[in-house]
Structure 1
């Protein structure tokens, strides 16, 4: 089929590659170049770079306004495919492709509709993660579902690892749905079950509450890693926690209490400790948690969250 593809982050790239191998991609829509790094260099999105590598036309748009709608409508595509573009598709663009738009969403809809489904699912401690391909409608992530896939993940996988897996599995799932639409065999069913929302994460979402049981502390760490990043305060200074895992040491520590071992810092929670192995103090580079701890002038009485 003749398609238009919309996406921005690296999680959308596998689907673009998969569809480009089997279909005619008339154009790729992505967000404009963004300043990255300390020097704030304008950098194309991962999807823009992938499209350039594939030799595909690119439309860069911060939002799908009248100008973008006109450019896309002129392509006369049969189907639109969207994966984490970062903007809303409204009428008349929604109806411009002959077969409408489909969306690959990284959750088991209707659970976790919104911008951060993987992160919110991990924070909530969901036992199952997955991806859904659905018909795009005006309401947020509410369209009928063509297909879903449940993915088993390691119990300690963080959001970036989960997204990488779902991006790969989701690309295959999307390709299957697109082919079924092309063949005229695709069938979509209404969403059913409890609807939950997954709003975009903020910096505050990364703050760890050491009074919670370990399972909840670690679930939040997984959900906010690497972005916006798990963090705590020590002596009033922010410390980002880059690597951590449940400790095999069941030392009886008060919430936020810290003790050092040879390889990690054990931080007390509302139950058993979290083992923190790598950190990034405010204004400094990443380092092992033990090296950072050794660099403190006086560790007596230092606590996480204080």
Structure 2
């Protein structure tokens, strides 16, 4: 099939690579406009745009997908199908109607669980033991289209959202290629999603990532892992924001919520029902470092605690 691929961030790159290596012909790529990046905040193309340019593909960067210039060009390209991975904008019906075999989205959950922008993060936050990837035909309703295929992936006790997304980007890329193969061969039919079991996964905000030390150690552990690498779980220390990038639950429950124990090798913080040994942390204005190394540079007082 002749396809136009739509995607933007790094997580979409494995899918484009897999499609370029497949029997399908990628005739163009749609991605979000160049965005400021780095300390200088200079405009840079998306990771998908960079890969497309390396392969000499036409790259479309519409400000709005409903812009007539973009729709005209997409009609001229006349793709059979448009696979999508993390493009970052809602598609109007005028765009959905162009490819005869539709727009096929790769979504990083087992639908209908976790429809929305942050499915992997919410799976970790909720304590799910497994997640996965789904290919489905895009309709106007959010992630509600009929499903072509699914892949499941276990969630380990130390998995972060970044860990999971990295694995799903690779396995999902293969699932997407297999889905397009099945569509082309006429052996794959999209099945409507069940009405039961729908959950929603909105974007995780910085406010959502705030740690409440009066929560359980398990819940805080899931928050830290679910918000890694972005937006990053955080608390406060001496009135300044303090990021916690990793931690491990400890069985000891001898500390009050937010209170600390500092040793030569570890920094432990109390929760509602146990404690956490902090791994990597990032103090305001500092680089990420091991919590024990950071703690050695602090002159501790009896009043010091996290979240106070």
Aligned 1:144-223 pairs, distance under 5 A? 144-192=146-194, 193-223=196-226
- Please tell me whether the aligned partners of residues 205 and 224 of structure 1 are also in contact (alpha carbons under 8 angstroms): no
Paired position in structure 2 for 1:27: 28
2 CA distance for matches of 1:256 and 1:119?
24
1:1-306 equivalences in 2 (<5 Å): 1-22=1-22, 23-65=24-66, 66-192=68-194, 193-247=196-250, 249-306=251-308
Partners of 2:14 and 2:72 in 1: how far apart?
Answer: 27
- Structure 1 Cα separation of the partners of residues 157 and 47 of structure 2: 28
Structure 2 residues without counterparts, runs of 5 or longer: none
Q: Distance in 1 between matches of 2:173 and 2:182?
A: 14
CA distance in 2, matches of 1:216, 1:195: 22
- With normalisation by structure 1, the TM-score equals 0.96
Shift of 1:31: 0.8
Tell me the distance in 1 between the aligned counterparts of 2:287 and 2:301: 20
Look up the SS of the partner of 2:82 in the other structure. strand
Contact residue 63 and residue 88 of structure 1 kept, 8 A: no
| TM-superposed deviation, 1:129 | 0.8
Provide the alpha-carbon RMSD of the alignment: 1.3
* Count of equivalent residues: 305
The two structures have a TM-score, normalised by structure 2, of 0.96
Superposition deviation, residue 127 in structure 1? 1.6
Query: CA offsets per residue over residues 85-130 of structure 1, 9 Å max, x none?
Result: 0001111110100111110000111111111111111111112111
How far apart are 1:54 and its partner, in Å?
A: 2.2
Larger mean CA deviation between 150-159 and 140-149 belongs to 150-159
